[in-house]
Amino acid sequence: MTRFTVNGHELSVDALPMTRLIDVLREQLRLTGTKEGCGEGECGACTVLIDGTPVNSCLIPVVQVSGRDIITVEGIAADSRLDPIQQAFIEEGAAQCGICTPGFIVTARALLNTNPNPSRREIREALAGNLCRCTGYQKIIDAVVAALEVD
Amino acid sequence: MRGDALYVDDIRPSDCLYGATVRSPIAHGKLLGISLDPDFDWTDIHIVTAKDIPAQNVVYLMTEDQPALADGQIMHVEEPVALIAAPSRDRALEAVRHITVNTEASESLLDPLASEGHAIKIFGDDNVFKRITIDKGGQAADGIVVEGTYTVGHQEQLYIEPQGMIAVPREDGGLTIIGSMQCPFYIIKALTPMLGHDRMNVVQAATGGGFGGKEEYPSMLAAHASLLAIKTGQPVKMIYRRDEDLRATTKRHPTVVRIRSVVDASGALQQWDADIVMDGGAYNTLTPVVLSRAILHVCGPYRCPNQHLKGVAVATHTPPNGAFRGFGAPQAMFAVERHMDRIARTIGMDPIEFRRLNLIRDGDTTPTGQALVDTGAEIVLNDAMDAAKAPFKAPPIHPGGGQGRYAQGRGVTLVFHGCGFTGNGEARIKGKVAMELDGHCVKILSASTDIGQGVDTTFPQIAAGELNIDTDRVSNTPHDTAMVPDSGPTVASRTCMVVGGVVKKAAKMLREALQAETGLTSNDFDELIAARLHTVPLRVQAEYVDDGSMDWDDATYTGDAYPCYGWSCSVVDLDVDLDTGEVLYRRFVGSTDVGKAINPVIVAGQLEGGAIQALGYATCEEVVLDEHGRMRNDRLTNYIIPTSLDAPEMITRIVEIPFAGGPFGAKGIGEIPMDGPAPAVAQAIEQATGIVLDILPMTPERIIAALENQP
């Protein structure tokens, strides 16, 4: 059994130690907001926060998160209220097909938690591990900038 | 936004098995059969081969040449040979590794330039999928002759969600098919001959990008999931891994274009002859239509009295190529715009002024004889050049921009794009949309899928605009073929412009039905609803009606090729790193005529997303094939698409030249942003360094080689 916290809930999971964290989240815990785009840490669609740091959950064996605190996209909004980043993504048109959106929101949240006033350049750098094929990134950067003003 | 949208891999029917595909290791030869590893435990594994197919072994599209599973012969590497179902994904993949495909390899034909009439036969008598010729005028009098050859490679759509499909057996012996797709009704047409019946309904799950890659390929996956579901009697889910998706699914067609042109002493084009060879891969798929669009765009938005365009799409023993945003036009426009640069260089004229001198104007005719009105070539050119005068917003993202190891350049290109289907396509399809009044709310029932381009927002806006009610009272229902009429496929930049027009018409019919029911003449929707004596849902269905304004002859390729054209000018500013050959994008200005922007945020998103996909096509997206025609760089680590750091600052200008046939004047805009950026990058590299590249992609390796060969 591996014990850890997901979105504020303490739980224990029965999985082989080398099971990928993404599979535990999606298949066992049914937290399907975390997406798999490549399975090799290139696209960032599976990004989750481990103790506040964004990581690709397709590269993390579940044994490695024992005792740690995980936030997935399902844990970003505070109950019924969307996070300012989520709100800004809607208003700025930063989500098109939506498959990369959870990863971007989780990564952007981590950025704003550690750097409350990033420049556009810093935003681009922070999001460079997340691939989007629909938007051209412009509206995603705009959304993070807009969220800054609310945050 | 909260992660609650259900994509196909998020859906898990009870008792669901997982499917996987056994594929050919060779490009061409005999399929002798498969062998199972006797040491592997096969007790929970189900296997399907061609002999399990209930009726015809075909995934029907335009022709019946492509089998669902290879039987006897192999036509391309990675061709599906057998299917596996297992209780878990890992078990299914493990089983695939314990199967050997037994083949007898024959000589394969991988070079499209050698294919036509080759002794090795792949398709028909001469390996030609389609041949098209268009002639306007005759031969120009003497002038300056310029000739060039332009070559573009494959491009992968790279939707971030890989292909996926679930087939669920129904109690009536039919199937429910759920998956990631653009065109639900294609799947019914594709699978009916294979199953021997059409007892199926197809449901689109939330779809993580398509770009054409989920136009026709999902039919293959649906066929496979269905065969496994029939064999096992259980739901079967098939999700491709990224590497499999890259190796096995369709790509943009590699193309070679030769152009010979004649200009007079003033620089005016007098003759334009273009010759296209397009590589279709091993099966026909949609290749003839892709060639058609390439030929219809290989004249560019330029006036010229004598135009002779021809092309051929040929077969090779490579995985079939298929639909991808732009659909033949990006290949053609790269050649056209590079050739315009070549002429300007030859006659010593500024490339922008040379374009301005020759651009098409009202009253000019296209090669098919279509007389154009409301042309926008000059408008977008002026608009983009004005916008590009703005100072850069941010400092350069790399040190010493334009100095030392960095050479700065700007490229400007002009393109047009025919909106919607070619010729009489819409009149043949007759796209349908139903609309239902349910209480105070309106439901739109259409087969036009939202693949990220915003149909689920735009359609309600169109209906609400017609009915003069709040948009949040109108919703798009799920796209299930059991519930919605066939609106035609979600392709060709036709959805908003054509099906959106049918949505508007359905809304008008709904109001008229309410007026008839209540006996009122009011146009006030709420007044009409209030006057109803009951609350029984009211349903209407509208259909596209050909208004007779299009005059097109498919046999001679003459007349009105498209209902209207969009126009776009790209201005790209970049630096070339002279040490590494890398291209660093600084700013992209795009000015595009969209007819009418029904939702400006969505329109800008399409234009920006298309532009970055085209910048990837220009410099970093390369498909490398091995000696079997198999994609070697089948990972996101080595098939490189642009990231947020590669993407430039963008200035997106929306120009509105209304099209009377579109809802509120809207034109199709999904594909045009793919056309102009790549040749603009080539021109900018030329301006920065003097090197002339007539090939895509312009990778660092090619740039370095060209720099080293510079005199």
Q: What string of H, E and C letters represents the secondary structure of B403-414?
A: CCCEEEEEEEEE
- Pair of tokens at residue B599: 């939702």
**B711: closest CA of chain A, how far (Å):** 37
Task: Report pLDDT digits (tens) over B452-495.
Answer: 999 999 999 999 999 999 999 999 999 999 999 999 999 999 99
Separation between Cα atoms, residue B233 and residue B228, nearest integer Å? 8
Which among B694, B428, B409 is positioned nearest to B577, based on CA atoms?
Answer: B409
Cβ–Cβ gap B613/A131 under 8 Å: no
Window 50-69 of A, Cβ < 8 Å to B: none
Cβ–Cβ gap B160/A121 under 8 Å: no
Separation between Cα atoms, residue A9 and residue B385, nearest integer Å? 56
Separation between Cα atoms, residue B558 and residue B134, nearest integer Å? 8
Residue A99 in this model has a pLDDT that exceeds 60: yes
Decide if A145 contacts A120 (C-beta within 8 A): yes
- Residues A47-60 as b/e (b if ≥16 CB within 10 A, e otherwise) read bbbbeeebbbbbeb
- Pair of tokens at residue B31: 């399929």
Which among B80, B473, B406, B120 is positioned nearest to B244, based on CA atoms?
Answer: B80
B648 in contact with A, Cβ within 8 Å: no
Decide if B157 contacts B99 (C-beta within 8 A): no
Q: Where are the alpha helices (DSSP H) in B182-216?
A: 184-195
Window 512-531 of B, Cβ < 8 Å to A: none
Cβ–Cβ gap A128/B643 under 8 Å: yes
Cβ–Cβ gap A40/B454 under 8 Å: no
Decide if B658 contacts B674 (C-beta within 8 A): no
Separation between Cα atoms, residue B47 and residue B329, nearest integer Å? 41
User: Which residues, given as ranges, of chain B have pLDDT below 70?
Assistant: 396-403
**Which among A125, A133, A138 has the least Cβ separation from residue B209?**
A133
Report the chain A residue with the minimal C-alpha distance to residue B158.
A133
A122 in contact with B, Cβ within 8 Å: no
Give the mutation candidate from A137, A139, A141 for the B interface (greatest B CB count, under 10 A): A137
Report the DSSP pairing between strands B175-179 and B200-204: parallel
pLDDT value at position B617?
98
Window 77-106 of A, Cβ < 8 Å to B: 77, 82, 86, 89-90, 92-93, 95-102, 105
Question: What residue ranges in B295-452 does DSSP mark as E strands?
Answer: 306-315, 406-419, 432-438, 441-445
pLDDT value at position B399?
57
Beta bridge partners of B257: B150, B276
Please list every residue in chain B whose beta carbon sits closer than 8 Å to the beta carbon of residue A89: 1
**A125: closest CA of chain B, how far (Å):** 6
Separation between Cα atoms, residue B671 and residue B419, nearest integer Å? 9
Residues 6+ apart with CB under 8 A from B120: B28, B106, B107, B108, B109
Q: Do you know the residue count of chain B? A: 711
Decide if B114 contacts B48 (C-beta within 8 A): no
**A127: closest CA of chain B, how far (Å):** 6
Cα dist from A136 to A71, B570, B612, B679, whole Å: 27, 15, 5, 18
- Pair of tokens at residue B681: 């990058």
Side-chain half-sphere exposure of B380, counting CA atoms within 13 A: 37
Beta bridge partners of B176: B168, B201
Report the chain A residue with the minimal C-alpha distance to residue B11.
A32
Residues 6+ apart with CB under 8 A from B551: B559, B560
Please list every residue in chain B whose beta carbon sits closer than 8 Å to the beta carbon of residue A96: 209, 452-454, 605, 609
B637 in contact with A, Cβ within 8 Å: yes
Please list every residue in chain B whose beta carbon sits closer than 8 Å to the beta carbon of residue A128: 643-645
Output the CATH code of domain A84-150. 1.10.150.120
B601 in contact with A, Cβ within 8 Å: yes
Task: Report pLDDT digits (tens) over A100-131.
Answer: 999 999 999 999 999 999 999 999 999 999 99
Q: Which H or E run includes B274?
A: strand B269-281
Output the CATH code of domain A2-75. 3.10.20.30
Q: What is the pTM of this model?
A: 0.97
**B397: closest CA of chain A, how far (Å):** 8
Measure CA B433 to chain center.
Answer: 23
**B160: closest CA of chain A, how far (Å):** 5
B454 in contact with A, Cβ within 8 Å: yes
Separation between Cα atoms, residue B99 and residue B24, nearest integer Å? 11
Report the DSSP pairing between strands B538-543 and A47-50: unpaired
- Report the amino acid identity of residue B152: V
Neighbouring CB atoms inside 10 A of B456's CB total 16
Helices (H) and strands (E) in chain A, counts: 5, 5
**Which among A77, A121, A137 has the least Cβ separation from residue B397?**
A121
Q: Where are the alpha helices (DSSP H) in A45-137?
A: 84-92, 101-114, 120-126
Residues 6+ apart with CB under 8 A from A27: none
Decide if B219 contacts B182 (C-beta within 8 A): no
Residues 6+ apart with CB under 8 A from B365: B136, B371, B372
Task: Report pLDDT digits (tens) over B152-204.
Answer: 999 999 999 999 999 999 999 999 999 999 999 999 999 999 999 999 999 99
Question: What residue ranges in B430-563 does DSSP mark as E strands?
Answer: 432-438, 441-445, 474-476, 538-543, 552-553, 558-559
Cβ–Cβ gap A97/B605 under 8 Å: no
Q: Show the domains of chain B with their CATH numbers.
A: 8-107+160-248 (3.30.365.10), 372-421+562-711 (3.30.365.10), 425-543 (3.30.365.10)
**Which among A33, A125, A135 has the least Cβ separation from residue B608?**
A135
Please list every residue in chain B whose beta carbon sits closer than 8 Å to the beta carbon of residue A45: 160
Please list every residue in chain B whose beta carbon sits closer than 8 Å to the beta carbon of residue A34: 3
Q: Is the peptide bond before B367 cis (omega within 30 degrees of 0)?
A: no
Cβ–Cβ gap B611/A100 under 8 Å: no
A17 in contact with B, Cβ within 8 Å: no
B602 in contact with A, Cβ within 8 Å: yes
Separation between Cα atoms, residue A104 and residue B650, nearest integer Å? 20
- Pair of tokens at residue B339: 């050739």
**B56: closest CA of chain A, how far (Å):** 34
Decide if B58 contacts B68 (C-beta within 8 A): yes
Cβ–Cβ gap A124/B647 under 8 Å: yes
Residues 6+ apart with CB under 8 A from B5: A98, B206
Give the mutation candidate from A97, A122, A135, A140 for the B interface (greatest B CB count, under 10 A): A97
Residue B469 phi, psi dihedral angles, 5° rounding: -130, 170
The structural domains of chain A, with segments of one domain joined by +, span 2-75, 84-150
